[in-house]
């Protein structure tokens, strides 16, 4: 049976704790969630941090506290969101990498996001990618529409692939403003992937969650699930826990004859050095194989409002 990466995105930045008390919004809750989801079959966790008032934050000490809490409770590969919330400034989003995750999300372009705008201007995308390469953090390229798939090809042509040689992407589908969460949209997205891409997963927001999951499995893709993306397990029935969504993904994978990956296999899929190995040996210098010259990284941005 082929392996199946299940990534859990347990919290997100959009849902209020008051509307969804089962949403993990504290270090203790996310640590427990990580342990439960790993036991259920997840190998990676995509984290958005909340503050003591349960609001989204990019506060550096909280980022570090959450990373430490999840490392303590699980072996999951830790992916920090650099997307944050639609209100987060770009320079703070860059500094997420200071919290030393294994992986980071990296969205390939600006997207209307409901009534808001999820800003990812090209200079920011380039700076974030170069920073991830320098730090040896494995980017997961988030693709919200077809144009972003092509933008990924442009980025890789300019800066090369990560030193580990792996390029992993995630189709985020069904966001109002992005591509729809449908099988034809996924087929088009996969067909347009640059040849350097070595693995891909997909997630469908809201009611598109099941159709996207099944389309992904039918095409040999991986899955992201979690309460960042969906809050009902079936029409009108609230999700009880993130582990419940992971369990459902495992069940769907079983039907498709796919075995959930362990975190160590996920490390390999992302081109990360095995735990305990010498980073410099396994990852070169953490720089791109084909880094373009003169790519100084900006550290401050004007965030248009």
Summarize as ranges the residues that interact with ligand KMH (CB under 6 A): 12-14, 81-83, 85-86, 105, 107, 113, 118, 142
Which residue, 64 or 262, is less far from ligand KMH as judged by CB? 64
Which residue, 228 or 258, is less far from ligand KMH as judged by CB? 228
What residues are paired with 171 via a beta bridge?
143, 202
Tell me if residue 49 falls in helix, strand or coil. coil
Which residue, 83 or 181, is less far from ligand KMH as judged by CB? 83
Least distance to Zn ion, CB of residue 157, Å? 26
d(CA 129, CA 301): 16
Which residue, 10 or 136, is less far from ligand KMH as judged by CB? 10
d(CA 183, CA 198): 20
> For the residues of 145-187, what is the DSSP string, one character each?
SHHHHHHHHHHHHHH---TT---EEEEEE--BTB--SSHHHHH
Which residue, 66 or 273, is less far from ligand KMH as judged by CB? 66
- What residue 33 binds from Zn ion, ligand KMH, none (CB within 5 to 8 A, per partner kind)? none
For 75, list phi and psi in degrees, rounded to 5.
-105, 10
Which residue, 105 or 283, is less far from ligand KMH as judged by CB? 105
| Alpha-carbon separation of residue 245 from 8, 33, 183, 240, 251 (angstroms) | 8, 12, 20, 9, 10
Largest distance between two CA atoms of the chain: 53
Q: Which member of 11, 73, 74, 81 binds Zn ion (CB under 5 A)?
A: 81
CA atoms within 13 A on the CB side of 152: 31
By CB under 5 A, tell whether 203 contacts Zn ion: no
Determine the interface stretch with Zn ion among 52-60, 73-81, 174-182, 218-226 (rule: CB under 5 A): 73-81
Least distance to ligand KMH, CB of residue 297, Å? 19
Least distance to ligand KMH, CB of residue 117, Å? 9
Which residue, 76 or 250, is less far from ligand KMH as judged by CB? 76
- What residue 117 binds from ligand KMH, Zn ion, none (CB within 5 to 8 A, per partner kind)? none
By CB under 5 A, tell whether 7 contacts Zn ion: no
- What residue 107 binds from Zn ion, ligand KMH, none (CB within 5 to 8 A, per partner kind)? ligand KMH
Which phi-psi region, left, alpha or beta, contains residue 84 (left: φ > 0; alpha: ψ -120 to 50)? left
- What residue 11 binds from ligand KMH, Zn ion, none (CB within 5 to 8 A, per partner kind)? none
Using Cβ positions, the residue closest to ligand KMH within the complex turns out to be 83
Contact 73, 33 (CB under 8 A): no
d(CA 155, CA 170): 16
Residues written for the chain: 305
Query: What number of chain residues touch Zn ion (CB under 5 A)?
Result: 1
Contact 106, 271 (CB under 8 A): no
- What residue 142 binds from Zn ion, ligand KMH, none (CB within 5 to 8 A, per partner kind)? ligand KMH
Residues of this chain that bind Zn ion (CB under 5 A)? 81
């Amino acid at each position: 049976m082929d392996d199946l990466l299940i990534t859990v995105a347990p919290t997100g930045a959009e849902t209020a704790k008051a509307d969804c008390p089962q949403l993990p919004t504290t270090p203790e809750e996310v640590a427990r969630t990580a342990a439960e989801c790993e036991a259920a079959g997840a190998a990676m966790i995509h984290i958005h941090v909340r503050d003591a008032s349960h609001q989204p934050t990019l506060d550096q000490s909280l980022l570090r506290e959450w990373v430490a809490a999840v490392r303590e409770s699980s072996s999951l590969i830790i992916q920090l969101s650099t997307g944050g919330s639609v209100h987060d400034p770009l320079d703070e989003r860059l500094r997420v990498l200071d919290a030393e995750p294994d992986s980071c999300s990296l969205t390939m372009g600006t997207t209307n996001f409901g009534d808001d705008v999820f800003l990812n201007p090209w200079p920011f995308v380039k700076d974030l990618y170069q920073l991830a390469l320098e730090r040896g953090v494995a980017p997961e390229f988030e693709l919200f529409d077809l144009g972003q798939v092509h933008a990924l090809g442009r980025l890789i042509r300019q800066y090369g692939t990560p030193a580990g040689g792996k390029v992993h992407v995630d189709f985020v589908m069904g966001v109002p403003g992005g591509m729809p969460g449908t099988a034809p949209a996924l087929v088009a997205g996969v067909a347009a992937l640059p040849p350097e891409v070595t693995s891909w997963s997909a997630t469908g927001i809201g009611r598109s969650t099941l159709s996207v999951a099944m389309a992904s499995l039918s095409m040999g893709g991986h899955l992201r699930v979690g309460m960042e993306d969906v809050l009902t397990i079936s029409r009108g029935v609230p999700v009880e826990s993130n582990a419940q969504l992971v369990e459902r993904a495992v069940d769907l994978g079983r039907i498709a004859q796919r075995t959930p990956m362990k975190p160590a296999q996920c490390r390999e899929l992302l081109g990360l050095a095995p735990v305990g190995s010498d980073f410099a040996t396994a990852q070169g210098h953490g720089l791109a194989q084909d880094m373009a010259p003169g790519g100084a990284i900006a550290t401050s941005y004007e965030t248009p409002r």
